[in-house]
Chain A
Amino acid sequence: MSTPDFRNVSPLAAPPTRDAATANGALDGKTPQGPLAGAWDRYRAEVQLINPANKRKYQVIVVGSGLAGGAAAATLSELGYQVSCFCYQDSPRRAHSIAAQGGINAAKNYQNDGDSIFRLFYDTIKGGDFRSREANVYRLAQVSRDIIDQCVAQGVPFAREYGGQLANRSFGGAQVSRTFYARGQTGQQLLLGAYSALSKQIATGGVKMFSHCEMQDLIVIDGHAKGIVTRDLFTGEIQTHMAHAVVLATGGYGNVFYLSTNARGCNVTATWRAHRRGAFFANPCYTQIHPTCIPVGGDYQSKLTLMSESLRNDGRVWAPAKKGDKRAPQDIPESERDYYLERKYPSYGNLAPRDISSRAAKEACDDGRGVGDHGLGVYLDFADSIKRLGEPLIRERYGNLFDMYEKITGENAYQRPMRIFPAVHYTMGGLWVDYNLMSNLPGLHVIGEANFSDHGANRLGASALMQGLADGYFVLPYTIGVYLASEGGKKLPKADHPEAAAVREASTGRLQKMLAINGKRTPGEFHRELGLLMWDKCGMARNRDGLQHALQRIPQLREEFWQNLRVPGEAGNLNHALDHANRVSDYLEFAETMCFDALHREESCGGHFREEYQTEDGEAMRDDDNYAYVAAWEHKGADAQPYLHKEPLEFKEVHLAVRSYK
C-alpha cells in the first residue's frame, strides 16, 4: 500500500485553536511524535497545567451522564472545575451505558495468558479493520488497566474467583481472557460506579446536575463552542447555559434505524446540531450490527434486545444445513446442522468478531436456512455446555440473560436453543476529534460513543465500556486543560450575547414550527419509515444503487415531515411526542450524510460492507491505497451535499494486513 505522503504532526503544546483543517486540506489529528509506547506519558509530562485555584474559574458543560459523561463530570469536578452536567433521562443513573451486558476489556494479564497493552492495542486496531487512529488506540489500551483499579475502588462488584481475585471471561476478536464482568450487568455496575462518583460531586456543589434536560443546540461565539441551549423535558422550559468549554458525551446514532438495541431516547440531536454549527462528522457509515439479538417479532415492535456476546463463550451458533428445514431444533440431527462460524473461522470459532458473525448469519438466512417464523434467525445452542458444565453453572454465568430471553419470547433457552439475529447496536462513527478529544470547533470536546476515534470500522466486544470510561476518567481531564490553558480561558460571554440569544430563538422557533404543522402523520410513523429505509439500504450490506435510492428518498421524506407532521400538545409542558419529533427531524438530516459517506467509501471494511467489494468467499475487501483515511464531513446546509475532509491514517506500529480470523 502507499503511505499517504502528508502528515501534519504538531508539537504537543501546539495552539489548540488553530483550524484543524490545514493548508493542504488534510485534517490534523495532533498525535504526539515519537514511538507510541510512552507517547501518552510524554504528553502528560509536557502538557500545560492549570493551577488548582484557577481551575475554579472555569465552567465546563458536560452533556450526557453515561460512562463517558458521568466519569468526566465527576473527575473534572474533583479537579476543581465548575461543572454543569445534563442528561435527558430523569436521573443520570439511567443513561444507556446501563444496558451494556457482557464486560469491559483491560490489559491486566491477570490470567497470565500473554496479554499486554500492545496486544490489546493490536486486537483493537485489527478488530477495527485498520480504520482507527493508532495513537488514540494505544492510549486506550494503556489506560484500560487504571479503569479496573478505579472501578474496584468505587465498589463495583466485579465477578470474583474463590480466592477473592477478579475473574475474567473471553470475548470476540481476542485470544486472551481479558474481559472483566459483573454477571450480565457490567454496564449497569460500571455506570452506577460513575454515578456514585458523580453523586458525590453533586453533593459537594462541584457539579450542577440538570436531569431531564435535553441539549437543543450549540452556541458558537467567534468560532469557539461557548455554551448550549437546553429544554427541560418536564416543564418545556428553554434555557441558555454558557461555559468555557463544552463536552459532548451523548452516545451514538443507532436509532436512525428506528429498531436497534439502543434505548428509546438515544438520539443524534446533540452531535448533529453541533455538526450543523461547524463540527465535522466522521465516518458516519461505520455502524455495528450485533450478531446476537432477539429476532424481530412484528411491526409494532419498539426495540430490539441484545443477548450479550459473552453467551458465545458457551453457546454454539448454527443453522440447518438444508434450505427450508422447518423441523424443531432438537429434531435436526447433528449431521444436518451447520456450525458455520466454527466451519468458516476455525481459530476463533464462535468468538469471531461482531461484523463477521453478523454477516455470516445474514448469509445463512439469505441462503434460505434461517429459522423462526420469518426465517430471519439462527440458533445459539447451549446444549453442549450444559452437558459439560451443568445447568447451575450456566445459570450462574448467564441466568439474567436466559430470563430476559424467556420474558420476551416465552421460550426456555435451557431446553431449546435461543433464536438470534443481528441488530443495530453501536455506532463507530461520530464527531471528529483530535488526540485531545477536541473537535475541529475549538472548545467542543467529544467523548465516548459520540466521537469517532477508537474503534475504526468495527468495535470489539467489551471495548465500548473501556473507551467511555477511559475518555471520561483518564483522558479528557488532562486534555481539556490544553484548551482551557490557552484561548479557552478567555472571558466567558454572557447568556444574553446576541449569538446565544439567536441560537435560543432558533431552538424555540423550531419546536413551534413542528407544533404548528398539524398534519396527519405522527413522529413515530416518520421514524419507522426512515428506519426501514436505512436498514434496507444502509444496513448490514450496502450497494451503490440502494444508497442512491436512499439519497433520493430521504429528502422527500424530510419534506413530507415538515408538511405533514402531527404533534399534539404544547411546548411549555411535558410532551413526549414533541421530544420525539425533535429527534426525528435530526435523523432525517443525519441519515443523508450517513448515506453519502457509505456511498463514497468504495471499499468494504468492518461494519461497512459494500456488496460490490468482496472476495470470492464473501469476505470484506478493503482498499488501503484509496481509503486509509478518516472521512470527516462538513455541513453545508440542510439540502446541500456535505463537504469531505480527510485525515490520512498512518500505521507505524502495525502492518496493514488482511483481517483474517480463519
Chain B
Amino acid sequence: MNLTLKVWRQKDSKSPGRIETYAAKNIPESASFLEMLDIVNEDIMHAGGEPIMFESDCREGICGTCSMVINGYAHGGQRGTTVCQLHMRHFKDGDELTIEPWRAAAFPVVRDLVVNRSGLDRIIQSGGYVSVRTGSAVDGNALPVPKKNSDLAMDAAQCIGCGACVAACKNGSAMLFLSAKVGHLGLLPQGQPERHRRVLNMVRQHDQEGFGNCTNQYECEAVCPKEISSTFITRLNRDYAVASARELLGAV
C-alpha cells in the first residue's frame, strides 16, 4: 500500500518544529507501523536526508519506549496496543497519517518524535517502591497474599510507563501512571508500612514535574496499551484523602 505521512520534525528542544510530508511507498500489510517508518527512513537516507527520529526498543509492546500520536490517537487508536504492535493491515491504501510526538508540558521534545519522559522516573523515585534492603527478606511463602488482591495488583503493575496516558490527557496528567503504582503496592501487604507517605510524596512530585490534574475525562484509560483501569485513580484518590487527613493529624 501507499500512504502519505505528515510528520512532526524538530531538530532539537530549542528549535521550532514543523509538519513535513513524506510518501510511504510499497508498504506490506503485514509490516508493523514502526517497520513502515523504517522503510520510509531508509528511503529518506538514500535521498540524502536525515531520518525521522522516533524511539523504539523491544518492539513487542512491553518496554514502553515507543511513543507517537497517530491521527490524534496516542499509539494509534487500536485498543490495548502499543505503536510497535500496530500493524499496517489496520490502514488502507491512500491513507493520510499525521504523526506527532507525545505532547505534554512535562514531556519536552528532544528531537522529532522523541520526548524526555524522565519526569515519570522521578515520580517513582519519590516513593514508588517498598523499602526493603537486599538480603533482609523473609521466606516468600511466609507472606501469603489473597489471589484476588495479587491478581488486581498485577493488573496495575503491568503499566509499561510509556506516557500515553499523559499524551492523551487534555491536562497532561500522569494520574493513571501514578495510580497504577500506588494501586499495585497498596493492594499488597508488603506495601502497607509506607502506604500513606508514598501516596503523598508521589502526588507532590507529580505536580512538581508539571503534570496536570485529573478531571475524570478517561482519555488515559482509552489509550492505555495495557488497559489499566481508571478505577485505580479512584483508589488513588481515596488513599490520598486518607493520607492527607492523617498528615494533618500528624499520623503519617
Which residues on A are within 8 Å of B, measured CB to CB?
71, 74-75, 78, 89-94, 96, 98-99, 108, 110, 146, 148-155, 157-166, 182-183, 185, 188-189, 192, 195-197, 199-200, 202-203, 209, 211, 234, 263-265, 297-298, 300-303, 305-306, 403-404, 407-408, 410, 473-474, 477, 520, 522, 524-525, 566, 568-569, 573-577
Q: Chain B contacts of A199 at CB under 8 A?
A: 121, 124-125, 128-129
User: Beyond A89-B63, A203-B126, is A300–B110 a contact (Cβ under 8 Å)?
Assistant: no
Contact B150 A160 (CB under 8 A): yes
* 8 Å CB contact of B184 from A99, A155, A301, A403: A155
A-B contact pairs, 9 of them (CB 8 A): A75-B134, A89-B65, A154-B132, A155-B153, A188-B62, A199-B129, A297-B28, A303-B60, A568-B45
Chain B residues, CB < 8 A from A90: 55, 65, 116-118
Q: Which of B133-177 contact A (CB under 8 A)?
A: 133-141, 143-147, 150-151, 153-154, 157-158, 160-161
A159→B184 CA distance, assembly (Å): 14
> B-side binding surface: helix, strand, loop or mixed?
loop
Q: Known contacts A155-B191, A182-B154, A577-B50; can you find 17 more A-B pairs with CB under 8 A?
A: A90-B65, A94-B65, A94-B161, A99-B62, A108-B140, A153-B136, A157-B151, A157-B154, A158-B150, A166-B141, A188-B62, A264-B56, A297-B31, A301-B31, A301-B35, A306-B60, A568-B51
Bound CA–CA A525/B28 (angstroms): 19
Q: Which 9 A-B pairs have the closest CB atoms?
A: A164-B144, A196-B129, A153-B137, A149-B137, A152-B140, A263-B57, A157-B154, A574-B111, A203-B125
Partner of B11, one of A188, A263, A573: A573
Contact with B134, one of A148, A474, A524 (Cβ below 8 angstroms):
A474
Q: Are A302 and B190 in contact (CB under 8 A)?
A: no
Least Cβ distance of B150 to chain A in Å? 4
CB distance from A154 to the nearest CB of B (A): 5
What residues of B have a CB within 8 angstroms of the CB of A165 in the complex? Answer: 141, 144
Q: Are A234 and B110 in contact (CB under 8 A)?
A: yes
Minimum CB–CB distance from A643 to chain B (whole Å) comes to 35
B116 touches A164 (CB 8 A): no
Alpha-carbon distance A612/B245, docked complex (angstroms): 75
CA distance A440 to B81 in the complex (A): 45
- Known contacts A153-B138, A157-B188: A211-B118 contact under CB 8 Å: yes
Residues of A within 8 A of B81 (CB): 407
- Whether A153 contacts B190 by the Cβ 8 Å rule is yes
B93: min CB distance to chain A, Å: 17
Taken together as a complex, chains A and B put the C-alpha atoms of A392 and B192 apart, in Å, by: 32
Q: Once the chains are docked, how many angstroms separate the CA of A574 from the CA of B9?
A: 13
A472's closest neighbor in chain B, by CB? Answer: B134
Residues on A with C-beta less than 8 A from B251 are none
Could you tell me the distance in whole angstroms from the C-beta of A387 to the nearest C-beta in chain B? 25
Interface string of B10-42 (1 = CB under 8 A from A): 011000000000000000101110110011001
Please determine whether B147 and A162 come into contact, CB atoms closer than 8 angstroms. yes
What is the bound-complex CA distance between A90 and B42, given in angstroms? 24
Determine whether the beta carbon of B147 is less than 8 Å from that of A164.
yes
The chain B residues found within 8 Å of chain A, CB to CB, are: 11-12, 28, 30-32, 34-35, 38-39, 42, 45-46, 48-51, 53, 55-65, 80-81, 85-87, 89, 110-111, 114, 116-118, 120-121, 124-126, 128-141, 143-147, 150-151, 153-154, 157-158, 160-161, 184-185, 188, 190-191
Chain A residues, CB < 8 A from B184: 155, 157
Which chain B residue lies CB-closest to A96?
A: B58
Determine the distance from Cα of A616 to Cα of B1 in the docked complex, in whole angstroms: 49
B130 to A153, Cβ gap below 8 A? yes
Contacts of A162 in B (CB 8 A): 147
Docked Cα-Cα span, A93 to B32, in Å, equals: 24
Interchain nearest-CB distance for A199 vs B (Å): 4
Which of A89, A149, A196 contacts B130 (CB under 8 A)? Answer: A196
Contact call B87/A152, Cβ cutoff below 8 A: no
Q: Point out the residues of chain A lying under 8 angstroms from B64, CB to CB.
A: 93-94
Contact, CB under 8 Å: A197 / B129: yes
Name the B residues within 8 Å of A303 (CB-CB).
59-60
- Establish whether residues B137 and A152, one from each chain, have CB atoms under 8 Å apart when the complex forms: yes
**Chain A residues positioned under 8 Å from B143 (CB to CB):** 152-153
Residues on A with C-beta less than 8 A from B124 are: 93, 195-196, 199
Query: Within the assembled complex, what's the spacing in Å between the Cα atoms of A301 and B31?
Result: 7
In this complex, the member of A90, A202, A265, A522 whose beta carbon has the largest number of chain B beta carbons within 10 angstroms is: A90
Q: Which residues of A contact B49 (CB under 8 A)?
A: 568
Measured CA separation A92–B81 after assembly (Å): 22
A78 touches B133 (CB 8 A): yes
- Residues of chain B lying within 8 A (CB to CB) of residue A161: 147
Q: How far is the CB of A587 from chain B (nearest CB, A)?
A: 17
**Cβ–Cβ contact A569 & B63, under 8 A:** no
Query: Could you tell me if B58 and A99 are in contact, using CB atoms closer than 8 angstroms?
Result: yes
Q: Report Cα–Cα, A160/B143, bound state, in Å.
A: 11
Q: Say whether A189 contacts B157, CB under 8 Å.
A: yes
Residue of B nearest to A195 (CB): B124
Question: A305–B60 contact, CB under 8 A?
Answer: yes
Residues of B within 8 A of A153 (CB): 130, 132, 136-138, 143, 190
On whether the beta carbons of A99 and B63 are closer than 8 Å, the reply is: yes
| Cα distance, A92 to B110, chains bound together (Å) | 18
Shortest beta-carbon distance from B81 to chain A in Å: 6
Pick the residue among A149, A473, A520 that contacts B140 (CB under 8 A).
A149
Which residue in B53, B58, B157 is a CB contact (below 8 Å) of A574? B53
Return chain A residues, CB-CB under 8 Å to B151. 157, 160
- Taking CB atoms, residues of chain B closer than 8 Å to A197 are 129, 132, 134
Does A164 lie within 8 Å of B145, measured CB to CB?
Answer: yes
Residues of B within 8 A of A520 (CB): 46
Considering the chains assembled together, what is the distance between the CA atoms of A524 and B35 in angstroms? 12
Are A196 and B128 CB-contacts (below 8 A) given A90-B117, A157-B150, A157-B188? yes
